Amino acid sequence: MKKKMVCLDVDGTIVDFDGHMYPEVRDEIINVMEAGHHVLIATGRSYHATLPIIRDIGLHSGYSVCSNGGVSLRLDPELDEGFEVIARSTFDPASVLESFRRRIPTARFAIEDEHGNYLSTERFQDFSFGVQATGVSFEELQETTAVRLVVFSHGASTREFASAIESLGLQGITYSVGYNAWLDVAGAGVSKASGLEALRRILHVDPEDTVAIGDGFNDVEMLEWAGRGVAMGQAPQEVKAVADEITGTVREGGLATVLRTLLRSPADQRS
């Protein structure tokens, strides 16, 4: 079989929304790795929160993308910590933060800085940070060089939040709205797809041999980029619309279903 580059979202794809990984999903990821394909994690989580997933599935070598493309890792068991950060994309969040604060007064903010630390306002904490966020003033946050900016508001619906963001007309950033009033912001042109494309070139994989599976708005660019983009069954319609195919939901083991097709010969797949 021709070696594929298999790019996997985490939340809603590898694990369910309680953080549980089903045994059949883990087994099929391992089978795909043992078959010789490149398996990469591609997630909005920080690398701190991604490493437990990487270790859980036994991914000891290769590459992964974290922070929605803002951070890329090289995995190598011979490294002291088993990994190293090989790329970081940063931006100045000052004007973006000021615009958000004026438009959405109820918003809380957190930033992943260039060293992998998290700084936040109003004791804002999330599992995707992977580390305890340090509380700082809004002014200190504005002075921080950012890899990832997270904006969250209890006071708005997802639709209202998205409308508010669009009304700001912000330039020089990339953003994606989550399932609730949650926004991930990165530098201009930075996405899971941009991080994966750089790694594709390192791995010398042809574009048509890339496979990506995900379920969120932050997966849209990745699904469009991949030679075979697969949306999970519970993905919003806008995400499904850009995918080449749709699999089962995360609770149905939809990822395992896709991975099994990578273990069949072309003749088997045509039959």
Q: Retrieve residue 124's tokens.
A: 């804002």
Residue with tokens 């030679």: 227
Q: Compute CA 141 distance to the chain's CA centroid, rounded to the nearest angstrom.
A: 23
pTM of the model as a whole: 0.91
Q: What is the pLDDT of residue 1?
A: 65
Residue with tokens 């209890």: 154
Q: What is the pLDDT of residues 190-201, one digit of tens each?
A: 999 999 999 999
Nearest to 43 by CA among 18, 75, 76, 7: 7
CA angle 191, 223, 225 (to 5 degrees): 70
Contact 180, 158 (CB under 8 A): yes
Q: What is the pLDDT of residue 265?
A: 60
Q: What is the pLDDT of residue 156?
A: 65
Contact 118, 136 (CB under 8 A): no
Widest distance between CA atoms in the chain: 62
Distance (Å, whole) CA 136 – CA 177? 24
Q: Retrieve residue 133's tokens.
A: 């966020």
Low-confidence ranges of the chain (pLDDT < 70): 1, 155-158, 171, 179, 265-271
- Count of residues making up the chain: 271
